[in-house]
A and B are shown apart, each in its own frame.
Chain A
């Protein structure tokens, strides 16, 4: 996961990209004949200093390699934004990005 975080005033702006195919049920059915092969990110969370600042539950309708942007307050430069996604098959990935 690529994470860019910038502090502007007291607001941290984050831009993140998760590398994921986000296969829908229909796409899986077309490819393998089995819609159960669909795999997509179901949940993304971001936390700073152990506190959750962003939390999203998702369906198969996010784009491939989804980019998400969000903002929050209560962190300073040098803190780390830790983001985790989990997909339908249970794969998970955690990445960190330093707030600049």
Chain B
């Protein structure tokens, strides 16, 4: 009995150590509505409380047309001193793809592969960088996903 108590206690402690790391922010926990929004405007508003963005300072690179919807390479670059970065798109059922918390020493040069549903019409992918000045900087990349490939987000 004592051993069992000890084991359950140690398991609990291990979990407790892993999760709350320094000033880390889990946007899935703190901003749950971002992840259920069905369009980019709603998702941006849920994340940042505003839709006012400045269209500069962010470089978003995605091949057009993307050969495979199941793994579209996306690169986000910026030299803005930032608090966070977020990536949205308007092809899949929900808009949010990923958000990053920028830490000391972090360089905003993120490569990630994402799923995009081939919808026949051009897809807009939006990257937003939240500067430490509180302003939102954005870049939009429009692309097509080659038809006949994998079913991206479906």
A95 CB–B CB distance under 8 Å: no
Nearest chain B CB to A9's CB is how many angstroms away? Answer: 12
Question: Are B106 and A69 touching (Cβ within 8 A)?
Answer: no
- Interface of B (DSSP majority class): mixed
- Considering only CB atoms, which chain B residue lies closest to A68 in the complex? B112
- B100 contacts A55, CB within 8 Å? yes
Query: Chain B nearest CB: distance from A43 CB in Å?
Result: 6
A54 and B112 CA atoms in complex are apart in Å by 13
Given known contacts A43-B26, A62-B97, A62-B114, A72 and B107 CB-to-CB distance under 8 angstroms: yes
Q: Is the CB of A54 within 8 A of B106?
A: yes
- Considering only CB atoms, which chain A residue lies closest to B105 in the complex? A74
- Give the chain A neighbours of B97 by CB distance below 8 A: 58-59, 61-62
Tell me which of B4-12, B48-56, B88-96, B132-140 binds A. B88-96
- Complex interface residues of chain B between 72 and 109 (CB less than 8 A to chain A): 72, 89, 92-94, 96-101, 103-107, 109
Given contacts A27-B154, A55-B103, A63-B70, contact A70 B109 (CB under 8 A): yes
**Any chain A CB within 8 A of the CB of B2?**
no
Rounded to whole Å, the gap between the CB of A90 and the closest CB of chain B is 9
Q: Could you tell me how many residues of chain B have their Cβ less than 8 Å away from some Cβ of chain A?
A: 37
Q: How far is the CA of A77 from the CA of B122 in the complex (A)?
A: 44
Q: How far is the CA of A26 from the CA of B151 in the complex (A)?
A: 11
Of B71, B92, B107, B110, the residue contacting A11 (CB under 8 A) is: B107
In angstroms, Cα B21 to Cα A47, docked, is 10
CA distance A69 to B94 in the complex (A): 24
Contact present for B24 and A55 (CB under 8 Å): yes
Instruction: Say yes or no: A62 contacts B107, CB within 8 Å.
Output: no
Sample of 19 A–B contacts (CB below 8 Å): A24-B92, A47-B21, A52-B21, A52-B101, A57-B26, A58-B97, A59-B94, A60-B94, A60-B115, A61-B89, A61-B97, A61-B153, A62-B112, A69-B111, A69-B112, A70-B109, A72-B103, A73-B105, A74-B105
User: B residues within 8 Å of A by Cβ?
Assistant: 18, 21-22, 24-28, 35, 70-72, 89, 92-94, 96-101, 103-107, 109-116, 153-154
